[in-house]
Structure 1
């Protein structure tokens, strides 16, 4: 996740880190090169390379903008849902910290809370496609077994055990929601349609500009291509909120925040430091 203050007006045009220009520069060069070629060919062979009426491009551009907006909205909803699910996991882990206050000072409380610490880190690795030998579900299962044992030993009342089970169930449900987002992308046919349409529109656009703008056509076509390809690339990044791209969720930071809260509640002092942004990116 990119964390930085809004740059100055000049900085807006110079910022590279956090900009989709790193992803779409090849497409922009292609469109600008095609535009230069169209302008030159139209001036040299005007009867062969003809200009087109701009009106259809305006209508297609409006339709494409609407489609891109819908896709970006859907992808942002996925990104925001991922943030809410991790917020739920962090909040619920703190609920468990309070719900186990009656076990303060016992090895069972430490065992249960450390299981949730492991859950957070394992979930982060799993969602990024780097699972370890132990799963996040296994950590929740360990905590559930401990709750059952303490209930059998009459060290937890029925009400206390039910509250802990509900908290563990919420964490399991949040993890399942994250796995659904990670494993179910936006339908490929929808994405492919937008990719194709954006390419065809931007490559054909110079033919609509060439008569009116002349040698300014490459600049105009490049700006339009930046908007369309940029929105398309941004949607690709938001679509997969647990990837390693620069706009993905900072799962390491979330898991570390969970660890700091839980181990701090146990009285530990050798707590890890919260990750800090490196080159404006928080992981």
Structure 2
């Protein structure tokens, strides 16, 4: 784990750590050449500031991780509800749906996961990704996942019109549609509501000010070990600040964000398997254990 590169925030902050290492070397060189500097800090006040800073960083990290975990639970619920809806649709009390009808329903459930993935990440959706019939219905929609839920509701209405659904089963399927709408809304809420900007600004300024002052407090007592200690302490705070920025938006494409592509593929495999159709291969992480 000491040599893991991908998935670590070290590549993002390496230049900043290099700056603080150079600054610490310069401070120690001046101290060794000129003697005690006129601008010298005692370690005790910085230690108190470090404790306070760690508490605030821990709070922001907890907030970011809560958003990350809520996003993961929402996508887990999307898998569960998609399976439930498919199972109920395939076990209607009347004759089982024909293969063409099963494929159409699979296409809608798969399209729901795909369009939600693209909407949350803000990536363009091409026509070839969705079934042609579904693409024609959702092409001009701004909120494509919500439009697909409406198409599922139209399918449900058609089944009731044909007398294939009783009131109780129809109510159960409709409840799953409501759950799908709640999942979509929950994901949209996380994606469109960042942590208040003032928290990031305050912590960012404090972290870097702390790292700038650190060499002046340590140079007198630690000598040439000051650059190493300074970089280690700065790495701890700066890396935690960078991690919270990544986790704040769990639906992005950074290494530590949720692997939406892999979860979308899992949902596609689940509904196709229930329908008795061939399933695409699962997305498996490589040696770096990181999926998108």
TM normalised by structure 1 equals 0.92
Structure 1: give runs of 5+ residues left out of the alignment: 1-11
Whole-angstrom CA distance in 2 between matches of 1:124 and 1:172: 15
Whether 1:184 aligns to 2:193 is yes
Q: Deviations over 1:221-268 (max 9, x none)?
A: 000001001111111111110001001111111111111111111111
TM normalised by structure 2 equals 0.89
**What residue is the counterpart of 1:169 in the other structure?**
178
**What residue is the counterpart of 1:280 in the other structure?**
289
Whole-angstrom CA distance in 1 between matches of 2:4 and 2:163: 61
Whether 1:215 aligns to 2:227 is no
Whole-angstrom CA distance in 2 between matches of 1:182 and 1:91: 21
- Give the number of equivalent residue pairs: 271
Whether 1:141 aligns to 2:130 is no
**What residue is the counterpart of 2:65 in the other structure?**
76
Whether 1:59 aligns to 2:68 is no
CA drift at 1:109: 4.1
CA drift at 1:138: 1.6
Aligned counterpart for 2:28 among listed residues 22, 35, 39 = 39
Whole-angstrom CA distance in 2 between matches of 1:253 and 1:233: 24
**What residue is the counterpart of 1:86 in the other structure?**
75
Contact 1:82 1:181 survives alignment (8 Å): yes
CA drift at 1:131: 4.3
CA drift at 1:13: 2.3
Identify the range of structure 1 (107-116 vs 160-169) with the bigger mean alpha-carbon deviation: 107-116
Whole-angstrom CA distance in 2 between matches of 1:156 and 1:257: 28
Distance 1:47 1:281, change over 3 A: closer
Identify the range of structure 1 (105-114 vs 67-76) with the bigger mean alpha-carbon deviation: 105-114
CA drift at 1:49: 4.4
CA drift at 1:166: 0.7
Whether 1:245 aligns to 2:257 is no
**What residue is the counterpart of 1:27 in the other structure?**
16
Whole-angstrom CA distance in 1 between matches of 2:46 and 2:36: 21
Aligned counterpart for 2:267 among listed residues 255, 258, 273 = 258
Aligned counterpart for 1:128 among listed residues 121, 124, 127 = 121
Q: Which SS does the other structure have where 1:15 is aligned?
A: coil
Structure 2: give runs of 5+ residues left out of the alignment: 126-138
Contact 2:118 2:124 survives alignment (8 Å): yes
Identify the range of structure 1 (62-71 vs 167-176) with the bigger mean alpha-carbon deviation: 167-176
Whole-angstrom CA distance in 2 between matches of 1:48 and 1:58: 20
Contact 1:123 1:175 survives alignment (8 Å): yes
Whole-angstrom CA distance in 2 between matches of 1:130 and 1:163: 33
Contact 2:43 2:217 survives alignment (8 Å): yes
Q: Deviations over 1:85-121 (max 9, x none)?
A: 0000000001112211116333444423321111011
